[in-house]
Structure 1
Amino acid sequence: MNNKIGELRPSQFITTFGPGSIVDLPDYSVIMGGIDKWDTFDVSKSRTIEENRLKKKLGIQQIKAIPINESKEFGTLPAYRFPEYHVCPKCRKIGKYRGREFVEEEGVLYCKNPDAEGEPCNKIKTHPVRFIVTCKKGHINDFPWGVYVHKKGKYDPKSCKLYLQDKGETGSLKDLVVYCKTCNQERSVSEAFSNNKILGKCSGRRPWLRDFENNCEHDKELLLRGASNIYFSSIESSIVIPKALEQEGIEDFIKEHIDLSDDELLDNRPMFDFMMKRIPDINRLGLDKVWNIVQKLRDETNSSNDLDLKTPEYHALLTEHHNYEEIDFETEPEVVPERFKEYISDLVRVKRLKEVMVLKGFTRIHPLPDLTARLSGETDDSNEDNQSGTAKVELAPLSATPQLFLPGVETYGEGIFLTVNQEKLQAWENDHKTYEAGMVAAHIAMYEERKVPVNEIPPFPGLRYVLLHTLSHALIREFTMHSGYSSSALKERIYSDPEKGMAGILIYTATVDSEGSLGGLVELGKKDKFEAILARTLSAAQYCSGDPQCAEKDVYELKDVNGAACHSCMLAAETSCEKSNRYLDRSLLVNTVANHQREFFIIE
């Protein structure tokens, strides 16, 4: 690797600045390279994160931690200068570092334009242009300045001298004009914003992979270099849960000692025999017997569509109340306060937990329509690849060719888990079918407004999900007041599935590269403290400083599938919410000033 040009935290790489993202540096900006561009030795020596459930769901062999160079003299993650076009702040000349007027010294581009009006530029530091072009498939390229200003005329890169002039009359994009001094041609940048057809079809360039993808059918779209919609990371996460301390049966024993995802080994009987002979405990069972069992288990694994990450977590949080040595999972059941036994079935203090987050791709312009649904384990990812059509959003790859690993990070922390009484919840759901139908209509309308095809619209998560999600946000706001953690430090996982009997909430905090936590959150899970917390939570949810307007929002007027919910009462930090602050309605939680009489908790 070359000398480092900047530093990123591992969590930043996974969430914000992964492959394909643009990072602004003091003197220029770069685009982060794909994982296939990483140094192979750096990858090999990087720590492997063990989480078999995530590896199975993502179809990979390894989850690798972000490579780190302890000496800090050299970078471990490749990055390439992007955009290549720079502009001089003095003479407004546009050019690349290969141009005659722009020279590079120690990585910085300087303008030495002899043709500048007035006094020639004398080593003026340039900066990257503000505009780039991209498409819905994730391709990205420099804005075609020369072709754009000449329209259908001839553009000669060698002789044409381009300038980006700012007339400064109104401060709008109409004042920003591309000008060719050689051909005396000019054109406002605002035209490209108003009509994408002007820019033509996408070139298919993937600078983070150093290649082009042929036959892209999407139109180019003009974006600002620092726009928030230029990069949406797609992350899969799971809470690491322990296996049983003692495996029973030969099949479980074999699963522990043989990797059923190793196709090369399991497709080659001679190689299998050669390798297994070296494992005394396997060899002792008999290679023929083990081979037959392995093939059976492999067939069952391949035929299984159970990629649900949340169901095992839900049951582990309820049943695995043990302290595991060398495993970051420790739970302790707590007595439910008598006052809320009618509503809450289980209360669990999660003293230790570990979350693994894996970056699997990214999108541009729009996030995946069902991204949060997949994060919640509600939909299948099988239709994610090979999508086509202008209305669909595609996941851009992290590498030019499939890799056996994906980058990930581990976070450690604590939490509080609770479940809602199933019998009371089912009765409440049956009483409010009409309201649920209204929310379903609002859900569909939201996606249709974004021109998502009907067959691409994810299923409505259910009225119980809206209730659980609202309760989670209300609790997060109250926990923030007493735990010592900020609201952005707390996260949620909602377990909602009527068919599987799931109705739970896990509110937790997790920190990268930190063993353990402060203990302030799990302490609030004790019976007496939680009783007071929940009472204050429900009481606070009755009123909002935005009332009566907030409380009067009803499903039949919804545009964002939120009912009585706003920044003053229910919305949380985007890093905390798994549904992008959607599907919230405190009128389902408690009675509000609007008195809709659809609340789950009856406060005396």
Structure 2
Amino acid sequence: MRTTRLSQTISPFGVGAVLDVLGESLMAADISRWPVDETYRIVSRRLEESLGVAELRSPPSVPSRPSKRTPGVLYERFPGWLFCQDCRRMHRMRHHDETGEPPTCRHCRGPMVPMRFIVVGTERGHAMDVPWVRWAHSEPQNQEHQRCRAEDLLFLTRSGGSEGLSSLYVRCATCTAERDLGDLTTRGSLARINVRCSGAQPWQRPNPNACDERLEVLQRGATNVTLSETTTALDIPEPAIPVRDEQAEIRQHRNFEDLRSAPNGPFAEMFVDLIASNLTVSKDLVRQVAGSGTGHDQEVSAAREGLLADEWQAFRQAIDNPDEQLGTPTFRVSATAFLEPNAGSAFAALGETISHVVLAHRLREVRVLHGFRRYDPSADMVDADLGPRGRARWLPAVEAYGEGILLTLDEDRLARWEGREPVAERALELERRRRESPIGSRFSEATPRLILLHTLAHILMRQLAFTCGYSAASLRERVYASTGPSPEAGLLIYTAAGDAEGTLGGLVRQGHAPRLATTVFSALEGAAWCSSDPLCRGSRGQGLGSMNLAACHGCCLVSETSCERGNLLLDRVMLVGDGTTPGYFEEVIAGARITAARYASTE
């Protein structure tokens, strides 16, 4: 029995992820192996409909002192190959060898620790152990080496050599064949010794004939071993008059996945008739929904846009009713003034760019894991549920409570700014890169207002971390930047934790005047000059796929858990300008500097 925090079973130690605990290395199995009877339902109708699932369920929680009979999430030992820290003998742990206790060496009773390397597929996300027996015998010196396949291996260090991987080697204690690890992590190293993909995850039965994807060797602690795919939503009040979403109901039907996977298959019409009959909708609508998906990334992106639109309307209720505190026990918001009545000229100029401030005294966030990828963000997504089809589909989720500040920009001023040609051209450059990127479909269009609001959220999170009482990694962002018929122009900085820690009040306190205006000023002043300038400001591309312009660790980047776009689509020039492209806050910063200079000259 091993323990971890409940929220960590979604991310970072969710399905398919490696968990290092007390010297052991484990990997979480998919949710088809969870004890469903021991989980409880998390209610979030909007998320369920958007993701097309019947329900969301929390991972099974256990008391602070669990026993062997306590239900929990299944983790499989991975990698299965271990070595003894005392005698250096290697041993492959199989499922029937598990005793529930940390493994010890059969020869000297010394502690066994996992090997450092694993193998992952670069396309379909399979994972397996490094074939150490084949690797040790892959450079035979005689016929005995060629014939031997004994699993009696030693993991040794060559003395007096280099300090790289070439100083480590695996030796067969039976035939003395050996090979160092110098070439192990090079591209195609396993293909050169005819190793094929297992076609499965570590907790599944291998099926090597079903997969021919390229294999690469990674360190088991590498960040790209598992790239979790999660979606979050805030729990907002239900509309007074519920509107039926027929397309969401179709996606939630238990047979929809069978239809979507083979829309022209021999059983397609049978599934169409069944879904249409059960939901009392037209067959044409069922066919349209089944054929409209252009890929999982696009579906999830569209679902997130819908979730954000609903949340924006919920926050607008507070703006339209500024004298009331609205909401439910899990969503309490109120509008507040950005500036005090007697604010100075510099603050008044800033106030012309900011429209409204809404304080979220209490928020409930639901976070859902719907799959993961391996090796590369553009690889196929592996579903969190690898069990048989034909049953009600559900996904794992956790709920967290917190507080936040919503800041909106002046729509008229923003529309004039984003209509200027240099601004549009600079945003178009990032949009072209987004479209060309293999992961670009996971993000919405890179419009000027999205880049502006996203970058503003980042610099505010960095600044608020100094004053609000929460760590930088505890803060999160949600950007509302739609340019459709009902335009959105706001950002939410919030914190969410699995207990009361996320509602301590420090963030809401910073939203009151004049604290928030001072924070925005300080953040903008910091963004005006980066420690990496002029290289950062003049950069033509930074980050993955060059999907950032003037944005680096010295000015804009935040913790990966804080950003909903992976620290991409950032550009602080949109905020402060650069002489060619006018920044949205450029005049405010210039005016503040003039005021400061005048004040200093009178001292």
- Normalising by the smaller structure, the TM-score range is 0.7 to 0.9
Specify the alignment match of 2:219 in structure 1.
Answer: 224
Say if 1:546 and 1:568, in contact at 8 Å, map to a contact too.
yes
- Would you say 1:59 and 2:57 are equivalent positions? no
Distance verdict in 2 for CA 1:49–1:297, change over 3 Å: farther
Structure 1 Cα separation of the partners of residues 201 and 418 of structure 2: 48
- 3-state SS of 2:103 partner: strand
Offset at residue 573 of structure 1 (A): 1.5
Specify the alignment match of 2:448 in structure 1.
Answer: 463
Specify the alignment match of 1:330 in structure 2.
Answer: 332
Offset at residue 356 of structure 1 (A): 0.5
Amino acid at match of 1:186: E
- 3-state SS of 1:588 partner: helix
Question: Identity of aligned pairs, percent?
Answer: 30
Specify the alignment match of 2:498 in structure 1.
Answer: 512
Specify the alignment match of 2:158 in structure 1.
Answer: 167
Matches within 5 A, 1:52-201: 52-70=45-63, 72-73=66-67, 74-97=70-93, 107-113=101-107, 122-136=108-122, 137-151=124-138, 159=150, 161-168=152-159, 169-196=161-188, 197-198=191-192, 200-201=195-196
1:353 aligned to which of 359, 363, 374: 363
- 3-state SS of 1:309 partner: helix
Say if 2:197 and 2:208, in contact at 8 Å, map to a contact too.
no
Structure 1 Cα separation of the partners of residues 446 and 28 of structure 2: 35
- 3-state SS of 2:88 partner: coil
Structure 2 Cα separation of the partners of residues 319 and 300 of structure 1: 33
- 3-state SS of 2:183 partner: helix
Say if 1:178 and 1:187, in contact at 8 Å, map to a contact too.
yes
Distance verdict in 2 for CA 1:132–1:582, change over 3 Å: same
Structure 2 Cα separation of the partners of residues 302 and 528 of structure 1: 55
Amino acid at match of 2:498: V
- 3-state SS of 2:170 partner: strand
Offset at residue 296 of structure 1 (A): 5.3
Say if 2:400 and 2:497, in contact at 8 Å, map to a contact too.
yes
Structure 2 Cα separation of the partners of residues 404 and 556 of structure 1: 40
Structure 2 Cα separation of the partners of residues 459 and 155 of structure 1: 55
Say if 1:410 and 1:513, in contact at 8 Å, map to a contact too.
no
Amino acid at match of 1:565: A
Offset at residue 328 of structure 1 (A): 0.7
Distance verdict in 2 for CA 1:166–1:75, change over 3 Å: farther
Say if 1:104 and 1:110, in contact at 8 Å, map to a contact too.
no
Say if 2:443 and 2:565, in contact at 8 Å, map to a contact too.
no
- 3-state SS of 1:436 partner: helix
Distance verdict in 2 for CA 1:299–1:529, change over 3 Å: farther
Offset at residue 597 of structure 1 (A): 4.5
Offset at residue 565 of structure 1 (A): 2.2
Specify the alignment match of 2:418 in structure 1.
Answer: 429
Specify the alignment match of 1:384 in structure 2.
Answer: none
- Would you say 1:405 and 2:394 are equivalent positions? yes
Say if 2:54 and 2:393, in contact at 8 Å, map to a contact too.
yes
Structure 1: where are the runs of 5+ without partners?
Answer: 114-121, 266-290, 369-391
- 3-state SS of 2:481 partner: strand
Amino acid at match of 1:135: G
Structure 1 Cα separation of the partners of residues 532 and 184 of structure 2: 40
Say if 1:146 and 1:155, in contact at 8 Å, map to a contact too.
no
Say if 1:131 and 1:223, in contact at 8 Å, map to a contact too.
yes
TM-score (norm 1): 0.78
Matches within 5 A, 1:306-385: 307=303, 308-319=306-317, 323=325, 327-337=329-339, 338-368=348-378
- 3-state SS of 2:467 partner: helix
- Would you say 1:536 and 2:534 are equivalent positions? no
Cα deviation 1:105-130 (Å, max 9, x = unaligned): 763333344xxxxxxxx322221111
Matches within 5 A, 1:253-332: 295=280, 307=303, 308-319=306-317, 323=325, 327-332=329-334
Structure 1 Cα separation of the partners of residues 254 and 181 of structure 2: 55
Offset at residue 363 of structure 1 (A): 1.1
Say if 1:238 and 1:357, in contact at 8 Å, map to a contact too.
yes
Distance verdict in 2 for CA 1:263–1:29, change over 3 Å: closer
- 3-state SS of 2:561 partner: coil
Say if 1:235 and 1:358, in contact at 8 Å, map to a contact too.
yes
Say if 1:238 and 1:355, in contact at 8 Å, map to a contact too.
yes
- 3-state SS of 2:515 partner: helix
> For the aligned residues, what is the CA RMSD?
3.6
Offset at residue 294 of structure 1 (A): 6.9
Distance verdict in 2 for CA 1:298–1:444, change over 3 Å: closer
Amino acid at match of 2:313: H
Distance verdict in 2 for CA 1:589–1:366, change over 3 Å: same
Structure 1 Cα separation of the partners of residues 455 and 356 of structure 2: 18
Offset at residue 492 of structure 1 (A): 0.3
2:466 aligned to which of 467, 476, 481: 481
Specify the alignment match of 2:297 in structure 1.
Answer: none
Say if 2:449 and 2:481, in contact at 8 Å, map to a contact too.
yes
Say if 1:21 and 1:32, in contact at 8 Å, map to a contact too.
yes
Say if 1:362 and 1:397, in contact at 8 Å, map to a contact too.
yes
Say if 1:103 and 1:110, in contact at 8 Å, map to a contact too.
no
- Would you say 1:48 and 2:58 are equivalent positions? no
Offset at residue 160 of structure 1 (A): 5.4
Say if 1:465 and 1:496, in contact at 8 Å, map to a contact too.
yes
Say if 2:434 and 2:446, in contact at 8 Å, map to a contact too.
no
Amino acid at match of 1:239: L
TM-score (norm 2): 0.78
Structure 1 Cα separation of the partners of residues 180 and 73 of structure 2: 38
Specify the alignment match of 2:32 in structure 1.
Answer: 36
Say if 2:478 and 2:564, in contact at 8 Å, map to a contact too.
yes
Distance verdict in 2 for CA 1:38–1:160, change over 3 Å: closer
Amino acid at match of 1:344: I
Distance verdict in 2 for CA 1:112–1:323, change over 3 Å: same
Question: Greater CA deviation, 23-32 or 414-423?
Answer: 23-32
Amino acid at match of 1:469: H
Structure 1 Cα separation of the partners of residues 71 and 211 of structure 2: 33
Offset at residue 329 of structure 1 (A): 0.8
Structure 1 Cα separation of the partners of residues 408 and 156 of structure 2: 61
- 3-state SS of 1:110 partner: coil
Cα deviation 1:376-410 (Å, max 9, x = unaligned): xxxxxxxxxxxxxxxx4333444333562211111
Structure 2 Cα separation of the partners of residues 443 and 292 of structure 1: 41
Distance verdict in 2 for CA 1:207–1:457, change over 3 Å: closer
Distance verdict in 2 for CA 1:158–1:504, change over 3 Å: same
- 3-state SS of 1:226 partner: coil
Structure 1 Cα separation of the partners of residues 543 and 30 of structure 2: 44
- Would you say 1:420 and 2:405 are equivalent positions? no
Say if 2:15 and 2:27, in contact at 8 Å, map to a contact too.
yes
Distance verdict in 2 for CA 1:525–1:111, change over 3 Å: closer
2:228 aligned to which of 227, 233, 243: 233
Say if 1:93 and 1:163, in contact at 8 Å, map to a contact too.
yes
Offset at residue 312 of structure 1 (A): 0.9
Structure 2: where are the runs of 5+ without partners?
Answer: 256-275, 293-301, 340-347, 592-603
Structure 1 Cα separation of the partners of residues 490 and 328 of structure 2: 27
**Count of residues in Structure 1 that have an aligned counterpart in Structure 2:** 526
